[in-house]
Structure 1
């Protein structure tokens, strides 16, 4: 009887030790964000003066215009009026979204989360010359969210990884034409084609 009791005590101690070790490890490896409702950044959309997106060895750079019919202009890879809706969509995410969860990894784990070759690096420059960066890694297993680094510090050994909405991936996965404003002449031609009634055969003969 005593032997059985001793075995049960040892099993209980073993299970308790395992649970304790697991909880301690989880706490150090993964920090569920207690402030998950806080925005990623404290700036507002209208404070952003310059937006740069580096993706697949291509750089898209946009600047805010003070006096113009369009608020943004593309500087790279070519000079052209920018499609404002594409810019505003991304800036709205940066200024209003929050991280659903944050956890910590070691530097040698970066490749596991897609940061050896990031999907994209987003940089904004504010009106006070402050700069902020978001580096997008790969998507989560369910493809509904994406891993990201916020204002990464290259000297840190422990690295915070944020889980962001998949909208961030959609916001940067655009072709060159989707970043450029459609020429006004083309827009008018399209509208005319849609609204102008077709001529009858008798009208054509006249």
Structure 2
């Protein structure tokens, strides 16, 4: 075959390929999209809708309007709407497609419950408005008969369409109780009967109790409870309620929670439990109100019991050190004569400066030790002007250079070693212990076997002193100056294991 024929065939092949793409693939894809667009019953785009009306079977008329980009409930009560719930209703209507067209024209609407439909919905945008009307269910109860505006056709739509539109006023209203962002709150005040506490945020992850005394609080619990309050949703809302009604318990509420920031303040009043037989007011749903609003909310505060009741045993931060393990740049530790110096590299991995000659380092072992130190909590604490003997000769010393801090955080942990028996007592004890007669074979073998060399393969490993259940610790620098802590000694065993895993690769 000549090269000219080959070129001609290639040109024909390319032309066929182009035709196949543009006419068979692209054209058919566009045709399918056009058909889907044509099958839509509603001619208004989802984003263009700014008005929704729903007339329910019970006669309730719900009106919603988009004002400055936000949906508002206009009737039967005027209030903010649940944005996602309304957007779901709008999407259901604008994307509506019938299962079938049952009749093209000359429909006896009364036969299908559409002469006087009891349920209807409409959407509007500027000068355009579309209505859809729902009639009876089909014999299988899986679909509804439906008509649209003055369209002469009878449609059959899935029952899920009506179910998605058949929302209550409560479903479509904003159920948010407190309009506040957690990041904007820097002060929390709680009054529970005659007990009052005040909490202040000193840093994004640092909360302190300022009244009735001063102490650190657990940042993770405070942030969690603050998020719970900020995102508190009502289970029910009673509009234009009489706040002095005795059943609400809001005329003189026993509990008040204040969330304040530089530019705002919100006060939540907690009243009586909805169920009068509740063992504790916060064990069930309670009535609540917000300062400046006349609505009564039914809310669930079970997850906030520790905060509302000011349970300092739960809220108090008992950690010895406050640092994020990922912020530690250098880590020095000595435990019972074994020393470790680790530096974090640019790739967030650890390298050892001491000891030398470690074949490979699993960074997780370093991270595990850091988390053990980070999670340390005291059992008791006391001030001491003098350094305790256990700290003067510590068994563990850890130094952490933390990003953003001028000086390293140093932890010292010690405990009193158990008294060892004196030489005379040891000899006497050995003499008093009766010797077991050795078998003849073992005796003969012992005469010929070489004695083990100290420190060699046959010698016993050095005994590791077990840490007691409670050990003594001090931290410098610390907000609690000269404070001596008693902590659980079980962490020593875990740290020792991680340290041994690192050193065994030497």
| Structure 2 unmatched ranges of 5 or more | 1-34, 179-228, 234-298, 315-506
Alpha-carbon distance in structure 1 between the residues aligned to 2:134 and 2:84: 21
Shift of 1:139: 1.9
- State whether structure 2 residue 190 is matched by structure 1 residue 175: no
> What is the TM-score normalised by the length of structure 2?
0.29
Aligned-residue offset at 1:102:
0.8
- Match of residue 63, structure 2, among 53, 61, 66: 61
Change (3 A) 1:150 1:184: same
Equivalences, count:
160
**Greater share of helix:** 1
Q: Which residue, 184, 188, 198 being the options, matches 2:232?
A: 188
In 2: Cα distance, 1:167 partner to 1:119 partner: 17
Matches within 5 A, 1:45-124: 45-55=46-56, 56-67=58-69, 71-104=70-103, 106=106, 109-124=108-123
Q: Provide closer, same or farther for how the CA distance between residues 112 and 54 of structure 1 changes in structure 2, counting only shifts above 3 A.
A: same
**What stretches of structure 1 of length at least 5 have no aligned partner?**
1-34, 154-158
Equivalent residue number for residue 44 of structure 1: 45
Aligned to 1:8: none
CA distance in structure 1 between the aligned counterparts of 2:133 and 2:154, rounded to whole angstroms: 10
C-alpha RMSD of matched pairs (Å): 3.1
TM-score, normalization by structure 1: 0.65
Rounded Cα–Cα distance in structure 2 between residues aligned with 1:142 and 1:36: 27
Show the counterpart of 1:162. Answer: 155
1:43/1:202 Cα in 2 relative to 1: closer, same or farther (>3 Å)? closer
1:78 is displaced (CA, Å) by 1.2
Alpha-carbon offset, residue 188 of structure 1: 2.4
Q: Report the counterpart of residue 23 of structure 1 in structure 2.
A: none
Q: Secondary structure at the match of 1:181?
A: coil
Change (3 A) 1:139 1:194: farther
Q: Find the residue that maps to 1:184 and give its secondary structure.
A: coil
- State the structure with bigger RCO (CA 8 A, min sep 6), 1 or 2: 1
Q: Give the match for residue 149 of structure 2.
A: 151
Poorly superposed stretches of 4+, deviation over 6 Å: 198-202
Q: Is residue 120–residue 172 contact of structure 1 (8 Å, CA) maintained in 2?
A: no
Q: CA deviation at 1:124?
A: 1.2
Change (3 A) 1:141 1:85: farther
Structure 1 residues 147, 183: CA separation in 2 closer, same or farther (over 3 Å shift)? Answer: same
